[in-house]
Amino acid sequence: MKKIRVLVAKPGLDGHDRGALVIAQALRDHGMEVIYTGLRQSPAQIAQAAVQEDVDVIGLSSLSGAHRTLFPKVLQELDDRNASDIPVIGGGVIPSEDIPYLLDKGIKKIFTSGSSTELLATYIMEMIDPKTSSKKPPKQISHIGIAVENIDAALSFYTDSLGLELEAVEKIESEGVKVAFIKIGESRLELLEPLNEKSAIRKFLDKKGEGIHHIALEVGDIRTRLQQLKQQGIPLINEEAKTGARNSQIAFIHPKTANGVLYELCQHEGSDD
């Protein structure tokens, strides 16, 4: 297979390029050909180099805070050379509030300080060869799990006061819980009542009282996704999917990776990608 060619560039006046050099080396380690422009390149020089080197993707790094003007200028310079088909991604020090602006201008993706070179390399490979991609984002919030002492006592607020529809009540003996699904649009509220003392919901109620327990994200291929998360070093509570309510396949991600929020991945029948 032809090697992916990446131009790593630093527009503007940044004083050092350690981060860019680390990224360039990491991408080489993933089998890519990396051309690095060096410090203090103008958007025109970057676009020119990208065209001359016939690269597949441009990675811009900015630390100086000038990304809001410089990144869109690179896109403009590419457009001027009929090269707007070369995707441009960015990273460095980019405040999250600037990300929607840059995406809106046409930058394909911004990598923040929390992401890894591993994720960056995977993203580039999947962008260039979409056949390798199996990482579609979760489709929607499947449900929000709420721990309650007693479903019957809790229901009236949802069905009478809010007027929502109770869709199903089910006991999941293996988990020691009774669940009630309340439909809200395409999502659900899932009331969870403990059936015995060993239930995780019992322990949650004793520790924290009633309240939000987890957020469930609907995914396509839960098995593949669990493998991918594992490869990324995301701590999982369940490394294999198990059967949950309404015949779904579910697995939990450890809350320490997600700001204290317990996330469930779930895949319902007929929701294969």
Write the secondary structure of 219-263 as one string of H (helix), E (strand) and C (coil).
Answer: CCCHHHHHHHHHHCCCCECCCCCEECHHHCEEEEECHHHCCCCCE
How many CA within 13 A on the CB side of residue 14?
Answer: 23
Residues 120-149 that bind Co ion (CB under 5 A): 145
Q: By CB under 5 A, is residue 218 in contact with Co ion?
A: no
Smallest distance, Co ion to C-beta of residue 77, A: 49
Q: Which stretch binds Co ion (CB under 5 A): 59-67, 87-95, 117-125, 264-272?
A: 264-272
Smallest distance, Co ion to C-beta of residue 238, A: 12
Size of the site for Co ion (CB under 5 A): 4
Amino acid at 232: Q
Smallest distance, Co ion to C-beta of residue 142, A: 7
Q: Which stretch binds Co ion (CB under 5 A): 21-29, 81-89, 219-227, 261-269?
A: 261-269
Pick the closer one to Co ion by CB: 190 or 221.
190
Pick the closer one to Co ion by CB: 90 or 145.
145
Q: Which stretch binds Co ion (CB under 5 A): 30-38, 87-95, 100-108, 208-216?
A: 208-216
Pick the closer one to Co ion by CB: 14 or 190.
190
Query: Of 85, 79, 4, 74, whose CA–CA distance to 46 is shortest?
Result: 74
**What DSSP string describes 119-182?**
HHHHHHHHHH-GGG---PPP-EEEEEEEE-S-HHHHHHIIIIIS-PEEEEEEEEGGGTEEEEEE
Pick the closer one to Co ion by CB: 46 or 217.
217
Smallest distance, Co ion to C-beta of residue 264, A: 5
b/e burial code for range 52-78 (CB count within 10 A of at least 16 → b)? eeebbbbbbbbbebebeebbbbbbebb
Q: What is d(CA 13, CA 11) in angstroms, rounded to the nearest whole number?
A: 7
Smallest distance, Co ion to C-beta of residue 157, A: 19
Contact (CB, 8 A) for 6 and 59: yes
Q: By CB under 5 A, is residue 264 in contact with Co ion?
A: yes
Residues 1-60 that bind Co ion (CB under 5 A): none
Pick the closer one to Co ion by CB: 46 or 146.
146
Q: What is the layout of strands, in order, in the sheet containing 33-36?
A: 33-36, 5-9, 57-62, 88-92, 109-110
Smallest distance, Co ion to C-beta of residue 213, A: 8
Q: By CB under 5 A, is residue 177 in contact with Co ion?
A: no
CA 24 to chain centre: 23
Residue selected from 216, 219, 226, 241 as contacting Co ion according to rule CB under 5 A: 216
Smallest distance, Co ion to C-beta of residue 193, A: 13
Q: What is d(CA 95, CA 75) in angstroms, rounded to the nearest whole number?
A: 20
Smallest distance, Co ion to C-beta of residue 228, A: 21
Question: Contact residues for Co ion (CB under 5 A)?
Answer: 145, 190, 216, 264
